[in-house]
Structure 1
Amino acid sequence: MAMQQQNIRHLSLPELEAYFLEMGAQKFRAKQVYEWIWQKHAHSFNAMTNLSKELRNQLAENFTLPALSFDATQHSNDGTIKSRFKTVEGHLVEGVLIPTDERKTACVSSQVGCSLSCKFCATGYMDRKRNLHYDEIYDQVVLINQQSEEAYGKKLSNIVFMGMGEPLLNYNNVLKAIERISAEDGLGMSPRRITVSTAGVAKMIRKLGDDKVRFKLALSLHAANDKKRNEIMPVNESNNIKALIDALNYFYKQTGNEITLEYILFQNFNDSLEDAAELVRVFRQIPADLVNIIEYNTIDAFQFSKPDEDTVEAFMQYLEKNRVNARLRRSRGKDIDAACGQLANKES
């Protein structure tokens, strides 16, 4: 029975060097292959033109070189580009390029589907098929970066893990992807320009602190008391607000990294001045730099709507009056279901 071929991108440089030495080739060949994989983004061994044909054939016999590919692309009126990517076995995930004058941001996915079932998020109504491997997460960034250069003549400036899935439930792959994205022999992007967003898995937030990560962290809060948060985010039942406050303080003590709170406003649910007061109380217990107040983007399965402008304005003014650094984040890409909470692999 033939041995299953290994994904060559899952080998470290030392492991590749050991392989080449074992087969009687020069050690420097490993570095050439590593560059093709991570810096030149080769999707086949044949593309590795500074290797002999014999060596390329040998690699093809022993390894696979799978990669994400574009499945569909949609362009929003506001310049946002949503892409649906296909894995080698046909799973679909989505990523978004969000352009502004100052930034070009990639919003990437970490899982095929999601297991957390947040009520306001379209991905939460999908089954979680599997975690994405770190090379597949890396591919999303590479492909969205290519889009940014083609459409706007600029490389990506920022990456947010706010696409499909819960990044902290795919912990090892997310951290390995960020390591490759920020490595000099990868994409060379500063981890300070990367934000990982979590629905709130307290144990894993603490692990981020223990691992002394260098990227920013965002908590999807969306309600500032446990009763309301339980209603819209089942994860809160095992990771309540007190546990998250403690975990975020631990994370900050260990890393000193920037923390943001994300808060979507839902009409007649979490948009009153009483809700704002509860948010202030939570904010004061966390070393957070910023509260992002987010417009709700409607999805078919969830019957909430967004509040009117006067309610939003009153909410923002209350936060400002109480010295909360808050920013109202207007949605991008709503017309192509690319905005916050809308990713669900819909047919375009």
Structure 2
Amino acid sequence: MKSTTPNIRHLSLEELTNYFEQLGEKKFRAKQVYEWVWSKQAHSFEAMTNLSKELRSKLAEHFVLPALNVETTQYSADGTIKSRFKTVDNHMVEGVLIPTESRYTACVSSQIGCSLSCKFCATGYMDRKRNLDYDEIYDEVVLINQQTERVYNKKLSNIVFMGMGEPLLNYKNVLKAIERITAPDGLGMSPRRITVSTAGVAKMIKQLGDDKVRFNLALSLHAANDVKRNEIMPINESNNIKALIEALNYFYKETGNEITFEYILFQNFNDTLQDADELIKIFRQVPADLVNIIEYNPIDAAKFLKPDEDTVEKFMNHLAKHRVNARLRRSRGKDIDAACGQLANKDTIGAEA
């Protein structure tokens, strides 16, 4: 059970200031504590060493400071690192560090499990336990950044919300987490280096436009007609491709932010030149920057297979011939179930505590 005592990270600076004034403490103490829980990333009151012992005890009496802990870490042969994080109420959620020559990307989760039941995704076969709070999402980024510094002597350069769960079904927490991640008194990251990926919730894509968000958006398309998309992504029955095209255009009109399509190739399902033509048609209706063609990572629960290299090459060449900006994204971390669609809190040999 989560504690009913207030979480200190859920207080604004103004609310913290009021608390200290009621204690008869100086106002600047509030700023000190706010810095500890956000920019200094303290995970306990004891860590707040410029506060008196008495004041730390008072904080511990009135508040909790729950934080994610790293339960296990797995290292892929290709340099990818997958972490399983444990919440204060004993749920597990996974995040991944993906290093390349030019960037270090954190793939973070927004929910514990998922309710969308996409047929090709391991997380889709799990129940959704609950949404992650914004401070828990923040912790994922903090802990993955610490790994990046420890293993690669670099800082995170990018964040993608492509882990477990549907970010737009945890809208407020995702936006608040990004606000803290990008705030000067948080992690200070540029919103242009953050991409939120959605399976396609048209209403909430439009809401992103209304809220004038500054981060990038990726749509997990994976099939370019409604019949096929309904088959693999049940959400399409209430958010069809036409509705998504309209929502994406609205989002772009309101924000001007980068839009990417994600398209996993499945053998004998969506990998023909006719499928490519349908994808081209959608691409031309939206001011999208890029189509990421993704290598499929088989999972035990699903029947899908990846196409052979010749089929992939023909598909990519067809897109290029029609001037579609497409990139083939090879999977990373397959050997530790850290690749796209594989996150499911699955035990894997070789995990380290």
Hey, what does 1:87 align to over in structure 2?
87
- Counting only pairs closer than 5 Å after superposition, residues 164-313 of structure 1 correspond to structure 2 as 164-313=164-313
Structure 1 position 33, deviation (Å): 0.3
Quote the Cα distance in structure 2 between the aligned partners of 1:336 and 1:232.
24
Indicate the residue corresponding to 1:157 in structure 2. Answer: 157
Shift of 1:260: 0.1
Query: Could you tell me which amino acid in structure 1 is paired with residue 153 of structure 2?
Result: G
Counterpart Cα distance in 1 of 2:72 and 2:4: 30
The secondary structure found in structure 2 opposite 1:46 is coil
The code of the aligned residue for 1:95 comes to: G
Percent identical pairs in the alignment equals: 80
Structure 2 CA distance for aligned equivalents of residues 22 and 322 of structure 1: 66
Q: Provide the rounded CA distance (Å) in 1 between the counterparts of 2:249 and 2:40.
A: 40
Offset of 1:4 from its aligned partner? 3.6
For residue 39 of structure 1, report the CA deviation from its aligned partner: 1.3
Measured in 1, the distance between the counterparts of 2:15 and 2:347 equals 41
Question: Which residue does the alignment assign to 1:13?
Answer: 13
Measured against aligned partners, the alpha-carbon deviations of 1:102-145 in whole angstroms (never above 9, x if no partner) come to 00000000000000000000000000000000000000000000
Corresponding residue for 2:327?
A: 327
Gaps of 5+ in 2: 349-353
Q: Measure the CA separation in 2 of the matches of 1:276 and 1:153.
A: 41
- TM-score if structure 2 supplies the norm length? 0.97
Q: How far does residue 5 in structure 1 lie from its aligned partner after superposition?
A: 1.3
Counterpart of 2:351 in structure 1 is none
Structure 1 segments of 4+ aligned residues over 2 angstroms from their partners? none
Matches of 2:206 and 2:110 in 1, distance apart? 19
In the alignment, the residues of structure 2 paired with residue 171 and residue 55 of structure 1 have an alpha-carbon distance, to the nearest angstrom, of 35
The 5 Å alignment of 1:38-187 reads 38-187=38-187
Counterpart for residue 28 of structure 2: 28
Aligned equivalents of 2:56, 2:8: Cα separation in 1? 12
Q: State how far apart, in whole Å, the 1-side matches of 2:337 and 2:45 are.
A: 36
Letter in 1 for 2:286: I
Moved more, 36-45 or 283-292: 36-45
CA offset digits 1:206-259 (Å, max 9, x no partner): 000000000000000000000000000000000000000000000000000000
Alignment partner of 2:93: what SS? Answer: strand
In structure 2, distance between residues paired with 1:31 and 1:240: 47
What is the count of residue pairs matched by the alignment?
346
Secondary structure of the residue that 1:168 maps to in structure 2? helix
Q: Which amino acid aligns with 1:210?
A: D
Where 1:209 maps in the other structure, the secondary structure is helix
Alpha-carbon distance in 1 for matches of 2:22, 2:252: 45
* Cα distance in 2 for residues equivalent to 1:78 and 1:242: 39
The amino acid that maps onto 1:58 is K
Structure 2 equivalent of residue 343 of structure 1: 343
